Amino acid sequence: MKLCSIPRYATALLSLALLLPAIARAAAGSTKPIELNSRRELLVDDFLISTMEGVELQLHKPEARDVAITCDAPWEGNTSAYFTLFKDEGRFRMYYRASHFDELTKQATHSELSCLAESQNGLAWDKPNLGVVGFKASKENNLIGWEPEKPQAAAPLAPGTPTLTRTHNFAPFKDTSPHCEPGAKYKALAGGMRIEKAVKVCCLYAYHSADGVTWSKTSDEPVITHGAFDSQNIAFYDTVRGEYRAYWRYFVKGYTDERGWKAEVRSIRTATSKDFLHWENEAELHYGDAPTEELYTNAVMAYERAPQLFIAFPTRFQEKNQQVEPVFMTSRDGVNFKRWTDALIPITAPKDRDGNRSNYMARGLLQLPGNDRELSVYATEAYYKGPGSRVRRFVYRTDGFVSAHASEGTLVTKPFTFTGSELVLNILSKGETRAELQDATGNVLPGFALNDCTPITADSIEHVVIWKGGPLSAHSGKPVRLRFALKDADLFALQFKAQ
């Protein structure tokens, strides 16, 4: 049939159909490509993913190892908690609250204190004799101390106000800011009280230290005042954005559903600061379509191998039985998080995790010496039990929080630009996985088709992809995208590097 014999409207439809592929290619090209450059990207969300067929993002859980430390010293006890760990000049440090609860008298046996433990390998932890704070007439302990502070004017406590102190939730960090002064290499936010209309209310103060052992209040004025604060209030320096970030416990409006009415639920709030004293951009965290849940501790941190990405291990709180369990979430901006609903460490995990508040994730992710294939996280157990609560080590595959998983499937990325000459994958592939390099509109680049790729059958943290087309240098800086044909595989991360 000749085109002129087709009705005019049908001719227009046919012309449009013929143009659709070109329109689609133009639309794809009009989207600004992601500037990937040479940074590592983890496949924890859809940031880099355009389409998946037969592929799903799969959450991975850490494997249990041995107990790292038991808080059984006389000044510690079974309610020791809020552990914070980080690497520090060839060693690892662990800060935590020391306290004990007598289950018979239902009373604390001594005031809350703050402790420091150290380790050379992240496995065995020592309690150094710091000689700073006395406990029962002896300074032979690992208690950290504070320089004297100005006394606050007396004021009555508002009804129901917790008696929050700095030792309740002290969570230090090593300051990596290029502007950090030597006398403040270590910083922390800690709970305290401020006087408001002749009544004491909770707040956070800023502290600093030159050695991490003796601490001073940075300002007599509180730095953050909106929140509950009776949890692990953490802060750190964000090297990518050049600012400090803080995360603390907060209450938000409750819910009405099949669970019934709850006026308020425990949540997490954040803020940023340029100088650690003046905080701004306060915001409640958002979790997309994840269900409303009570979140106690937050354990937010920038992921060191990909510092543009925030990871977190918040603790889900179940008020009915007072049980807790860590979950996992990630963010690109520090406010909007993708939160997984499965428990990372369920209450049925190795030992003594099903009691009241016996399953918190510590704040810290450590790369231990001599093992680049795994990362260590730490979680508490035996709260309210025995002579002292414990911390157990758990291990992840490096970058192994979430993978693009498939028995057989295809994943296509969004368009991006890169710098470098080779593609490196963190992948576990039992079948023959292949990768393809395309231009931004989906055209295969000569020499980089699936059939040009040497089959990938590997369990590698850094597997170099090999194509017949050779090095990728000619395409560096140009908009491209990747297509993966996964077979019995988990793809965790990718990065472009120079040879």
Dump pLDDT digits (tens) for 110-122.
Answer: 999 999 999 999 9
Collapsed DSSP state (helix, strand, coil) of residue 263: strand
Judge whether 17 lies within some domain.
no
Out of 397, 422, 455, pick the residue that ends a domain: 397
* DSSP state letter for 387: S
Judge whether 344 lies within some domain.
yes
Out of 397, 428, 448, pick the residue that ends a domain: 397
Q: Is the pLDDT at 9 greater than 80, yes or no?
A: no
| Number of domains the chain is built from | 2
Judge whether 2 lies within some domain.
no
Tell whether 99 and 239 lie within a shared domain: yes
Summarised one tens digit per residue, pLDDT across range 450-463 is 999 999 999 999 99
Summarised one tens digit per residue, pLDDT across range 38-51 is 999 999 999 999 99
Tell whether 269 and 329 lie within a shared domain: yes
Q: What pLDDT sits at residue 137? A: 93
Judge whether 12 lies within some domain.
no
For the ranges 71-75, 108-112, 116-120, 317-321, the lowest mean pLDDT is seen at 317-321
Judge whether 24 lies within some domain.
no
- The 10 Å Cβ neighbour count of residue 358 is 25
Domain range for 452 is 32-60+402-497
Judge whether 4 lies within some domain.
no
What are the beta bridge partners of residue 448?
A: none
Tell whether 102 and 150 lie within a shared domain: yes
Tell whether 353 and 254 lie within a shared domain: yes
- Which one is predicted more confidently, 104 or 237? 237
Judge whether 10 lies within some domain.
no
Q: What pLDDT sits at residue 255? A: 63
Tell whether 436 and 326 lie within a shared domain: no
Q: How confident is the model at residue 165 (pLDDT cuts 50, 70, 90)?
A: confident
Collapsed DSSP state (helix, strand, coil) of residue 67: strand
pLDDT (average), residues 246-253: 92
pLDDT (average), residues 247-272: 81
Tell whether 414 and 359 lie within a shared domain: no
Exposure of 211 by Cβ count < 10 A (0-12 exposed, 13-18 middle, 19+ buried)? exposed
Tell whether 134 and 184 lie within a shared domain: yes
Strand order in the sheet with 279-284: 234-238, 243-257, 260-273, 279-284
pLDDT (average), residues 272-290: 97
Is residue 301 within 8 A of residue 236, CB to CB? The reply is yes
Q: What pLDDT sits at residue 15? A: 45
Q: What pLDDT sits at residue 155? A: 67
Tell whether 48 and 135 lie within a shared domain: no
Judge whether 9 lies within some domain.
no
Tell whether 162 and 46 lie within a shared domain: no
Tell whether 247 and 353 lie within a shared domain: yes
CATH classification at residue 223: 2.115.10.20
Tell whether 318 and 411 lie within a shared domain: no
CATH classification at residue 493: 2.60.120.260
Out of 373, 397, 421, pick the residue that ends a domain: 397
Q: Encode 237-271: b = buried (16+ Cβ within 10 Å), e = exposed.
A: bbeeeebbbbbbbbeeeeeeeeeeeeeebbbbbbb
What are the beta bridge partners of residue 200?
A: 157, 195
Q: How confident is the model at residue 7 (pLDDT cuts 50, 70, 90)?
A: very low
pTM of the complete model: 0.91
Tell whether 295 and 171 lie within a shared domain: yes
